[in-house]
Structure 1
Amino acid sequence: MNPPLCKVCLQPTSTWCSRCEQAFYCSPAHSQADWPRHRRECVPVSQNTIATPPLYQQPLVTVSAILFQPELERPRIVTVNCQPLSAPSPHGSCPIPMLRDFFPDSPNPSHVVLTAGLNNEPLRFPLHLFYCPNSLNRGSPVNRAIHRITSGAAPKAWCGPVVVLKFNGSRRQGYGDAGNNDLPALSTYFLAYQ
């Protein structure tokens, strides 16, 4: 089976619009460039969900995530709280990660879902990357942690913080703990990012 193609440049890719899961893009920049056209057809994925207790009865879900901070040489494992949904939403039943502390200048960071890793092999547990697309425009420093894991070979420099969560399965209804074993797939993505 042929891999899906980016809607903008028609290059093979494994990442898609996390809202509708129908449009594929090779980079966050191409996703943003195509948004004026794509927004007219972007219909959120609806998933069957099991009734859940009211929000006040649901504690925060805490998971480990990978944080690429611009000023550090290596990624760190951090704890991220996720707010369970009180009712089914058009975006599915996955808890909402609380990332405000990692993106103080961007309360609504952009995100992309990685479904393939090394050699374009499907990831059993897709990775959810959150980033600030305006970091470069604001003069943010190049992310040294990403620069290091790609040995400086990435064609485009990432700026600003990047937080990576790991879905607990291919249906993406929740998060599990991300860790150092996920770095090879992330390095592959950063190296392919144009």
Structure 2
Amino acid sequence: MHPSSLNHPCFVCGRATTQWCARCQNAWYCSPEHSRDDWPNHRGACRPAPALGYSDMIATPPPAESEYISVTGILFLADEDRPRIISVKCRPPPHPSQSLCPLPLLQPYFDSAPESVVLTQGLNGEVLRFPLHVFYSPMALAKASPINRAIYHITSGAAPKPWYGSVVALKFNGSRRQGYSEAGSNDLPALSAYFLTYQCT
């Protein structure tokens, strides 16, 4: 009896499944979406399995590297004095027909899963035509990591509360927030205004 005939827990949600990674046949997923979601974690261990001719239904393989898109974002590193422009890879939405926003891959900048806030207003309360998506580490805020020098610099040290840990800002391509466009230095005033009014909890 092949193990595909037995229920295994999905690597993402734990739900019982008989579907597995089509490439290595050694990781279990309840849906193609969960196979794609877990690819950044699974790719290091995923080695092609020999063709065994099983007809069981298997999960769709993860997207090819070429399917990812890249956008520019703004990185505020805690130990640097100035923010810098970076390229961020984004995983395409699982169902493009649903117009879901691509998922940015931010693991290089955070030790744990980041949280985020969407800025819809800039200086003097003006509505942002292209909202900003700001990612930060709640763990860094809680642990009072080193004060973010880049944010301290762009606010001239006038923010009422310090910001800790690294921060990444991306720019949506419109008010419907279905994708990202290129962020740049012209977005710094709106970000500075947010950091100046930020109140930590």
**CA distance in 2: counterparts of 1:79 and 1:127, whole angstroms:** 16
C-alpha separation between the residues in 2 aligned to 1:56 and 1:193?
A: 38
Alignment map for 1:92-107 (pairs within 5 Å): 93-103=100-110, 105-106=111-112
CA separation in 2, counterparts of 1:97 and 1:56? 15
| Range that drifts further, 80-89 or 54-63 | 54-63
* Aligned partner of 2:151 among 122, 146, 165: 146
Shift of residue 134, structure 1, vs aligned partner: 1.8
- Equivalent in the alignment of 1:69: 77
Pairwise CA distance, 1:133:
1.4
Question: Corresponding residue for 1:126?
Answer: 131
Which structure: greater helix fraction?
Answer: 2
Find the aligned partners of 2:137 and 2:86 in 1 and give their Cα distance: 18
Question: Structure 1 residue runs of 4+, over 4 Å off?
Answer: none
Query: Conserved in 2, the CA contact under 8 Å of 1:55 and 1:84?
Result: no
Bigger radius of gyration among the two:
2
Match of 1:165 among 170, 173, 182: 170
Task: Give the total of aligned pairs.
Answer: 138
Moved more, 130-139 or 65-74: 130-139
Deviation of 1:89 after TM superposition, in Å, equals 9.8
Q: Greater RCO between the two (CA within 8 Å, min separation 6)? A: 1
**Which secondary structure does the structure 1 equivalent of 2:130 belong to?**
strand
Identity, in percent, stands at: 60
Cα offset, 1:87, TM superposition: 2.0
**Counterpart code for 1:188:** A
The answer for unaligned runs of 5 or more in structure 1 is 1-53
Where in structure 2 are the equivalents of 1:1-194 lying within 5 Å? 56=63, 59-87=67-95, 93-103=100-110, 105-106=111-112, 108-194=113-199
When normalised by structure 2's length, the TM-score is 0.65
Q: Deviations over 1:24-67 (max 9, x none)?
A: xxxxxxxxxxxxxxxxxxxxxxxxxxxxxx97377111000000
